[in-house]
């Protein structure tokens, strides 16, 4: 049974672990130190504050090891700050802010501006599941640019920011600007568990 690690340096890692459990993941562990990485087959990077997460990843010496695991094909899901941590390029990042990479995307931090620091939007992500998603955005980033290897999973569908890319997939890496772990909608976590369990992911074990 593959074990999913939840990066527990900072942010809402507990909520994600609960969502993973409720979505059917059997083996879940928190990741903080390099040795915690030895027992995981996939990683979830929570929302929080990416500048702090980046600093803590360096301090706890997991930045390089996680980078390597993602580059080798480990399945990963990042939400909000987690999406920022997976980006190859940042707009409005701190000058010394490092990421794990994994997605050939340019992410703009705090993209929706202060006046709408937090909001909810209804959107569709047909690759994940049918029907509407109630997406919760909290000082959220968006994907400003992406390579042809990146699949768009969801966009903002109406209003001022219509068309903004807010969920993407590239190989075994998925990311959302919003926070499914703050709702009781488990479809994103179930999709991630399916990705972890697919034969291509399990070949790595």
Active site residues: 80, 179, 181
Break the chain down into helix, strand, coil percent, rounded to 5. Answer: 30, 35, 35
**Binders of ligand GLN: how many residues, by CB under 6 A?**
11
Looking up tokens 């640019």 gives 145
CB of 177 to ligand GLN, least distance (A): 9
Is residue 201 close enough to count as binding ligand GLN by CB under 6 A? no
Q: Which is nearer to ligand GLN, 7 or 138 (CB)?
A: 138
Q: Is 110 in the site for ligand GLN (CB under 6 A)?
A: yes
Rule CB under 6 A: choose which of 32, 55, 109, 155 binds ligand GLN. 109
Q: Which of residues 7, 8, 23, 48 is near ligand GLN by CB under 6 A? A: 48
- Residue range at the interface with ligand GLN (CB under 6 A); choices 24-32, 34-42, 79-87, 152-160: 79-87
Q: Which residues pair with 45 in a beta bridge?
A: 78
Residue 22 Cβ vs ligand GLN, minimum distance, rounded to whole Å: 21
**Listed residue (79, 104, 81) closest to 178, CA to CA:** 79
Q: Segment near ligand GLN (CB under 6 A), from 63-71, 76-84, 98-106, 167-175?
A: 76-84
**124-153 residues near ligand GLN, rule: CB under 6 A:** 138-139
Q: Are 13 and 28 in contact (CB under 8 A)?
A: no
In terms of phi and psi (left: phi > 0; alpha: psi -120 to 50; beta: otherwise), the region of 169 is beta
With 0-12 / 13-18 / 19 or more C-beta atoms within 10 angstroms meaning exposed / middle / buried, residue 70 is buried
Say whether residue 107 binds ligand GLN (CB under 6 A): no
Closest distance of CB 1 from ligand GLN, Å = 29
Task: Give the H or E element holding residue 137.
Answer: strand 129-138
Q: What's the rounded Cα separation, in Å, for the pair 66 and 101?
A: 9
Write the burial class of residue 88 (CB in 10 Å: 0-12 exposed, 13-18 middle, 19+ buried): middle
Question: Quick one: which of 5, 47, 75, 78 contacts ligand GLN (CB under 6 A)?
Answer: 47
Query: Is residue 56 a contact residue for ligand GLN (CB under 6 A)?
Result: no
Interface residues with ligand GLN (CB under 6 A) are 47-50, 80-81, 84, 109-110, 138-139
């Amino acid at each position: 049974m593959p074990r999913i690690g939840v990066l527990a340096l900072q942010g809402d890692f507990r909520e994600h672990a609960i969502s993973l459990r409720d979505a059917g993941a059997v083996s879940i562990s928190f990741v903080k130190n390099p040795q915690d990485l030895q027992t995981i087959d996939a990683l979830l990077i929570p929302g929080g504050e990416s500048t702090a997460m980046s600093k803590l990843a360096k301090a706890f010496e997991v930045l390089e090891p996680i980078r390597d695991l993602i580059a080798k094909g480990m399945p990963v899901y990042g939400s909000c700050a987690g999406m920022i941590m997976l980006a190859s390029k940042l707009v409005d990042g701190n000058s010394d802010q490092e990421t794990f990479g994994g997605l050939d995307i340019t992410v703009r931090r705090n993209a929706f501006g202060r006046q709408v620091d937090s909001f909810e939007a209804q959107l569709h992500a047909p690759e994940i599941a049918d029907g509407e998603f109630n997406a919760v955005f909290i000082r959220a980033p968006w994907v400003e640019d992406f390579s042809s290897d990146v699949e768009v999973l969801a966009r903002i569908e109406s209003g001022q920011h219509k068309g903004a890319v807010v969920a993407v997939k590239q190989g075994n890496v998925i990311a959302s600007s919003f926070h499914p772990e703050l709702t009781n909608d488990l479809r994103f976590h179930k999709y991630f568990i399916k990705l972890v369990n697919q034969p291509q992911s399990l070949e790595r074990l």
